[in-house]
Amino acid sequence: MVDAGRRPPASGTLAVVAGLTIIGLALRLPSFGDSLWGDELSTNFVVNGFGAGSTIHIILGEQEGTPPLFFLLTWLTKWFDGVEGLRVISLLAGVASIPLTYLLGVRTVGQRAALVATALIALAPFQIFYATEGRAYALAMFFCLLATLTLLIATESEGYGWWIAYALSVAAAAYTHYTTGFVLIALFGWAFFARPRARLRLVLATAGAFVLFLPWLPEFLDDRHEPAAKAVQLLHPLTFHNAVDDLLHWSTGHPFINAQDLPGPVGIWLMIAAVVLGGIGVVLRLRHREGERWWPMPGGLTLVIVLAAAAPVGAALEHIFGPTIFSTRNIITSSPGLALAAGALVTAGPKPWRIAAPLLLLAGFAIGAVMMLDSGNRRPDAAGPVDYIEANGPPDAPVADAFSLTPGPQTGLEAAFAEKGQAYPANGRKILTLGAPTLAERLRVRQNGGIGLFHPLPTPSDKQLADEAARAAGPGGTIFITAGRGSIADLERGVGVVSSFIRDLPPCYHAVASRSFPGLGLVGITVYVYRCDEPA
């Protein structure tokens, strides 16, 4: 008798998986061209250099505490127009993870659960965000999925080809992000005990992957002490509240938007109802089981649970040995396991429970997915202010940018003003970053192998910047001021760097216009236009 988990999928099932993959791609494309934001600014610097040397040279410095594979692949794609070149690897990996989740699920928890999990990966706002993020997280998840799938096939085959594929997948995952180690170690442990007949080949293949990683091992040991490796501990320490919050963001919503806002109360209650109905279905199934086998693979559900728990548990335990790395992005490698576990739960019961529960769960995630199409739930639109400034002022009008924390030398606005791959605006427009060292100073530190976040740098005063802006604008000139919502709140209270800068401008300057641009959370951007009454 052919095992249900090994039967070739029907053409209708393949069409559903293909359709979910296309839907997943369509949901990701609107965010694909968003302005650079957050850690993507570090990727922009690593890949383009700005005079600091090659990609490998920068990675070996203090700028990054992660392995090189994602950056090298992105270096090959940086020729794409605009910011998309920094994101195409993540997009391909994130979309490819949708059908891979199905292939893994159909071998572990069955076709129904696999289809639900596939839909969850396609619809989850968390997945949409990181599949359009110019960082290594989607690629790390993809390689962990690939390692799991190739291992399962290898344990069932007689040849060595799939074992080689497993070893290469493990090595690729390790070269993509160190946090993949949590899933890879858990996967090895599961296979060692669940597949005793394959232990020798498992050990040999894993040893082969380790040999491939050996050239990078000294840098791995050094990265544990790099300033970049301490960023999470500095900005997001591991506390019970932060851990619970991270797990909620990871499992139900968006990495930077509260669940009350996305997917919102309706989405949350739909998910809760789905879990409750799924639990009832499991109880009913246990009471009327009649000896049938639940999962296509012995130990399949166990593997899925191990995969779902590996990254959160591993990241929490890692804190014992060094600075915390526990954050939503660093546990993304367990997302497919979580989706498969959720799929198994909501499809385990008898009819009608196994119909109602998945529909409610998918409806909750679909609400979040649709909300991701709203520009207010995407990265801040730094390109919008640039277009507005270019259209509404002279080309030499200076711009005072309220500083937002950036892991790269550029701020998001500076990157938007610059030509692709460059540090400075092509037209020479003067951009003054309020409350921060000059871009030239930040670049100087990076070019010497440092990272400004951990190196005190000289910062011009607000008075110096106001005088410089007035000189650049000239008599009767125009000054643009850009501010995030946090700085705007300070401005309304008359405090902060923007208020100080405005007070230090010559008395002839007054506000004549403003325009706001969307962005997630508290980081939308507003442009204020100040003009001098004195004749030119």
DSSP string, 26-37: HHHHHHHTPPP-
| Average pLDDT of span 253-272 | 96
Reply yes or no on whether the pLDDT at 230 is more than 50: yes
DSSP character at residue 480: E
Measured between alpha carbons, how far is 369 from 386 in angstroms, rounded to an integer? 28
Measured between alpha carbons, how far is 195 from 453 in angstroms, rounded to an integer? 47
Phi and psi for 4 in degrees, rounded to 5?
-60, -30
Tokens 């949708």 belong to residue:
98
Q: Is residue 344 a contact partner of residue 301, using CB atoms and an 8 Å limit?
A: yes
Burial tier of 249 (Cβ tally within 10 Å: 0-12, 13-18, 19+): buried
Q: What is the pLDDT of residue 445?
A: 87
Residues 6 or more apart whose CB falls under 8 angstroms from that of 316 comprise 238, 243, 326
Ordered domains of the chain (ranges, CATH): 16-33+87-377 (no CATH), 383-532 (3.40.50)
Band (pLDDT 50/70/90 cuts) for residue 428 is confident
Q: What is the number of other CB atoms lying within 10 angstroms of the CB of residue 45?
A: 25
Measured between alpha carbons, how far is 341 from 144 in angstroms, rounded to an integer? 16
Phi and psi for 413 in degrees, rounded to 5?
-70, -40
Reply yes or no on whether the pLDDT at 56 is more than 90: yes
| Average pLDDT of span 428-445 | 91
Tokens 């020479």 belong to residue:
428
Q: What is the pLDDT of residue 122?
A: 98
Q: What is the pLDDT of residue 385?
A: 95
Question: Residue 128 is encoded by which pair of tokens?
Answer: 């949409």
Reply yes or no on whether the pLDDT at 360 is more than 60: yes
Q: What is the pLDDT of residue 485?
A: 76
Whether the CA torsion 321, 326, 332, 335 is positive or negative: it is: positive
Question: Residue 275 is encoded by which pair of tokens?
Answer: 């879990």
Which residue, 370, 193, 341, is CA-closest to 278? 341
Reply yes or no on whether the pLDDT at 5 is more than 90: no
Number of residues written out for the chain = 536
Reply yes or no on whether the pLDDT at 362 is more than 90: yes
Question: Residue 490 is encoded by which pair of tokens?
Answer: 């300070």
Helix 137-156 / helix 199-213 crossing angle, nearest 10 deg: 150
Reply yes or no on whether the pLDDT at 4 is more than 50: no
Phi and psi for 527 in degrees, rounded to 5?
-105, 125
Q: What is the pLDDT of residue 85?
A: 96
Q: Is residue 400 a contact partner of residue 501, using CB atoms and an 8 Å limit?
A: yes
Amino acid at 391: A
Band (pLDDT 50/70/90 cuts) for residue 509 is very high
Intra-chain end-to-end CA distance of the chain, in Å:
89
Burial tier of 248 (Cβ tally within 10 Å: 0-12, 13-18, 19+): middle
Measured between alpha carbons, how far is 21 from 29 in angstroms, rounded to an integer? 12
Q: What is the pLDDT of residue 59?
A: 92
Burial tier of 277 (Cβ tally within 10 Å: 0-12, 13-18, 19+): buried
Which residue, 131, 160, 510, 156, is CA-closest to 332? 131
DSSP character at residue 10: P
Q: What is the pLDDT of residue 291?
A: 47
pTM: 0.95
Q: What is the pLDDT of residue 118?
A: 98
Measured between alpha carbons, how far is 398 from 112 in angstroms, rounded to an integer? 59
| Average pLDDT of span 20-43 | 96
Question: Residue 15 is encoded by which pair of tokens?
Answer: 């069409």
Burial tier of 158 (Cβ tally within 10 Å: 0-12, 13-18, 19+): exposed
Q: Which of 57-66, 178-187, 241-250, 307-316 has the lowest mean pLDDT?
A: 57-66
| Average pLDDT of span 43-60 | 93
Which residue, 267, 66, 47, is CA-closest to 176? 66
Q: Is residue 113 a contact partner of residue 13, using CB atoms and an 8 Å limit?
A: no
Q: DSSP assignment of 340-393, as one string? A: HHHHHHHTSSPTTHHHHHHHHHHHHHHHHHHHTTSGGGSS--SHHHHHHHHHHS
Which residue, 64, 74, 13, is CA-closest to 453? 64
| Average pLDDT of span 402-414 | 86
Reply yes or no on whether the pLDDT at 1 is more than 50: no
Which residue, 37, 85, 43, 82, is CA-closest to 517? 37
Q: What is the pLDDT of residue 55?
A: 93
Q: What is the pLDDT of residue 292?
A: 54
Percent of the chain with pLDDT over 70: 95
Q: Is residue 308 a contact partner of residue 334, using CB atoms and an 8 Å limit?
A: yes
Q: Is residue 135 a contact partner of residue 43, using CB atoms and an 8 Å limit?
A: yes
Band (pLDDT 50/70/90 cuts) for residue 10 is confident
Q: Report the chain's mean pLDDT, rounded to a whole number.
A: 91
Which residue, 468, 476, 461, 502, is CA-closest to 398? 468
Q: What is the pLDDT of residue 455?
A: 62
Question: Residue 389 is encoded by which pair of tokens?
Answer: 């400034």
